[in-house]
Amino acid sequence: MRNFFRNLLNFFKPEIAVDLGTSTTLIYLKGEGIVLREASVIAIDASTKDVIAVGDEAKKMLGKTHSGLIAKRPIKDGVIHNLEYVQMMLAEFRKKVIKNFIANPTMLMAVPSGANDVERKATIDAAKSVGANQVYLIEEPVASAVGIGLNVFEPQGHMIVDIGGGTSEIAIISLAGVVAKQPIRVAGDEMNEAIADYIRRVYNIAIDENIAEEIKIKIGDVYGDQNDELVIRGWEVFSRKPTEIVVKSSDVKEALKGVIDSLAQAIRKVLDMAEPSVVRDVLEEGIYLTGGGSTIRGLDKRLEEETGVKFIRAENPYESVARGAGIVLENIEKNPEYKKLLVAASR
């Protein structure tokens, strides 16, 4: 009976939390949990502007389209790059999770901590374009902390390093707010680009971002514990012939030196700008590592070596922002404390 009433409420008054990421979009439906996880990609007909595909299906089309078809990632560096395409993509995702097409949902949108007023307004506009009658915004590192299971309301400094597709959110949270932060546009996409650049520079092979990501996932290790190998086939740019090479884990470690250095530098900067009492909390507790870009092997050990601070890997790094935003959505009407976590609201 409880499930019946929950489903009825979700049908007539749906409430969703959205992690609109550069590479992946996750949607949390109140009462049910995460109900959608798809690539943040849209494919449209170039002439009619009709949507051909969204999500994982559209991702397969990236780099393979002709003049009559457009396949794009409309989110760049964690914020909306093409509002029209985001609105179209979000409308298709909405259809997948909300069965009542005339319902006006409440939407909680996660945004980067470094998003400016224009970028936040674009997020609100995107939500309203798909029928939202009320829109809340929450900063991604705050949502991550809640999703990890931290008590963000206590007078205790918790440090989050959330590595997404387009941005890395580095922040210290205490008393329901961000006390120090350093969002940087160095994340999973930059890792893929660095690997592709390295393969071209060292092996003279041109590869796309999908192959670079495959290398990162299958044999990536930035600390040096692994020595795996992967055979890839590509186009040799000088001989102009197809060729095969063996890529090793050590290649990935070398390719990502610059990315790791940027992350470590940003982490040190946040610790430099925070109050000593908050820094002491972080040094005692450790730094929480989350986000899809954090899953590469050895990253926690490498960052610990670079900074001298213990790192703790989140259990569900891909879902921490969406899950945290969902927890806030579940509690926002029952506990006024959760409203302190919001950065903006629009009716």
pLDDT of residue 238: 85
pLDDT tens by residue, 272-288? 999 999 999 999 999 99
Kindly state whether residue 212 falls inside one of the protein's structural domains.
yes
Segment 133-144 mean pLDDT: 96
Kindly state whether residue 6 falls inside one of the protein's structural domains.
no
Q: Do 265 and 180 have their domain in common?
A: yes
pLDDT tens by residue, 233-249? 988 888 888 999 999 99
Most confidently modeled of 47-56, 70-79, 336-345? 47-56
| DSSP labels, 177-204 | EEEEE--BS-SHHHHHHHHHHHHHHHH-
Kindly state whether residue 71 falls inside one of the protein's structural domains.
no
pLDDT at 133 exceeding the cut of 90 = yes
pLDDT tens by residue, 305-331? 999 999 999 999 999 999 999 999 999
pLDDT of residue 102: 73
Segment 216-227 mean pLDDT: 91
Burial letters 225-257, b for 16+ CB under 10 A, else e = ebeeebebebeeeeeeeeeebebbbebbbebbe
Q: Do 195 and 238 have their domain in common?
A: yes
The CATH number assigned to the domain holding 272 equals 3.30.420.40
Q: Average per-residue pLDDT in the chain? A: 93
pLDDT at 346 exceeding the cut of 70 = no
Query: Where are any strands of DSSP class E within 201-316?
Result: 205-206, 229-236, 241-248, 287-290, 311-313
Q: Do 226 and 244 have their domain in common?
A: yes
Q: Do 308 and 192 have their domain in common?
A: no
**Residue numbers of the domain that contains 287:** 154-186+259-313
pLDDT tens by residue, 44-63? 999 999 999 999 999 999 98
Q: How many CB atoms lie within 10 A of CB 337?
A: 12
pLDDT at 2 exceeding the cut of 60 = no
The CATH number assigned to the domain holding 209 equals 3.90.640.10
Kindly state whether residue 295 falls inside one of the protein's structural domains.
yes
Sign of CA dihedral 282, 286, 292, 296: positive
pLDDT of residue 227: 86
Q: Do 307 and 197 have their domain in common?
A: no
Q: Do 273 and 224 have their domain in common?
A: no
**Number of compact structural domains in the chain:** 2
Kindly state whether residue 172 falls inside one of the protein's structural domains.
yes
Confidence class for position 13, pLDDT limits 50, 70, 90 = confident
Kindly state whether residue 114 falls inside one of the protein's structural domains.
no
Q: Do 230 and 274 have their domain in common?
A: no
Kindly state whether residue 85 falls inside one of the protein's structural domains.
no
Kindly state whether residue 63 falls inside one of the protein's structural domains.
no
Q: Do 205 and 181 have their domain in common?
A: no
Q: Do 306 and 280 have their domain in common?
A: yes
Residues 6+ apart with CB under 8 A from 144: 160, 162, 169, 288, 290, 291, 314, 320, 321, 324
Q: Do 267 and 179 have their domain in common?
A: yes
